[in-house]
Amino acid sequence: MIDDLRTLVEVESPSRDREALTASAKAVAAVVENRLGGRAVLVESPAGPHVHWSGGGDPRVLVLGHHDTVFPLGTLARRPFRVAGGRATGPGVFDMLGGLVQAVHGLATLDDRSGVEILVTADEEVGSHHSRTLLEERALACGAVLVVEGAADGGGLKTARKGCGNFQVSVTGRAAHAGLEPEAGVNALVEAAHQVLHIASLGRPEVGTTVTPTVASAGTLDNVVPAEATIAVDVRVETEAEKTRVEAAFAALTPRLPGAEVNVAGGVGRPPMPPAASAGLFSLARRLMPDLDGHHVGGGSDGNFTAALGVPTLDGLGAVGGGAHADHEYLEVGAMPERAALVAGLVEALRSGADRPGEGADRRAFSRSGGRG
């Protein structure tokens, strides 16, 4: 597993870089084919190639991940792959190349892989705009989804996720000389300040809704009344009702200054993943590993999309570690065999059609896959 992880990390794969993502997809496909046999197909898209592998037979379970990362080319030179002190470090080890490696090696322990599919997309980190149709199609065909994103704190699984999205608020005013006749202008920066305060008030943390202005820009020169301003806003919601409320509130934004204009783009692109979507699969996972915890998390994944379809979805089955999207990203090497075995145990139970198998059968499957049980 360490060798395969090194291979994937050392092929950098920043989102939106088609050349790099093509090389990364080929590396992922080679690892899959080497460990599982068969053919891993590269599915071309405007974002870069997705990787799809099938064990044949009637589809029963989809193992879902992505190979794009948030780190720009050159990060590897500054932060090369290393294993020291029980941890692997390097760009993408936790989010989420480690999870891919664990899943593949877990499946390699199974004698029968029929009914299993793997889909590794190329644009999850930037919204899954070019993979959503494909991943939803395969999720519906398989009927159960195991997402190998990094684990929650302490190695827990992700049993619910907030819906998440971004809004872009554009303010148009009118330029004027800031000293000679500021009254002739319409100050887009002042209008943006009004909008930011109102937007921030839309959050309802008591029900899990956060509305956070994150990036703003305005103006051209220090002696010119700003004619334009922009505001970026991050939104997280736990329910469809809150998604509807927040989107309606953004659509209703109106200018406070005479002559100003306000336009809004964006929305909550990833719907919430409710606890009900993972309940059955999480129960099965706890039969395999009784000490597992379930966590509700604010970040989104492709599991949000599959859960919204009504397909049972369990997330956070990937690497144990931390520091996603940060320079201190790491993976706990000692947890890799057990996590691989957990994926294998879940897949074997689902592949066999035993959605709620008895505890003895579950534990035997987990034991054969190498887990502690």
Catalytic site positions: 68, 124
Q: Do the Cβ atoms of 369 and 106 come closer than 8 Å?
A: yes
Residues 6+ apart with CB under 8 A from 268: 163, 164, 165, 235, 237, 243, 246, 247
- Residue 213's nearest CA partner among 171, 258, 257 is 171
Give how far the C-alpha of residue 60 lies from the chain's centroid of Cα atoms, to the nearest Å: 22
Beta pairing, strands 87-89 & 82-84: antiparallel
User: Residue 204 carries which DSSP code?
Assistant: B
Residues 6+ apart with CB under 8 A from 44: none
Q: What is the rounded distance in angstroms from the CA atom of residue 131 to the CA atom of residue 302?
A: 9
The edge-to-edge listing of strands for the beta sheet with 313-314 is 40-43, 50-54, 116-121, 61-66, 145-147, 313-314
User: C-alpha angle with apex 363: 357 to 367, nearest 5 degrees?
Assistant: 140
Q: What is the rounded distance in angstroms from the CA atom of residue 109 to the CA atom of residue 326?
A: 32
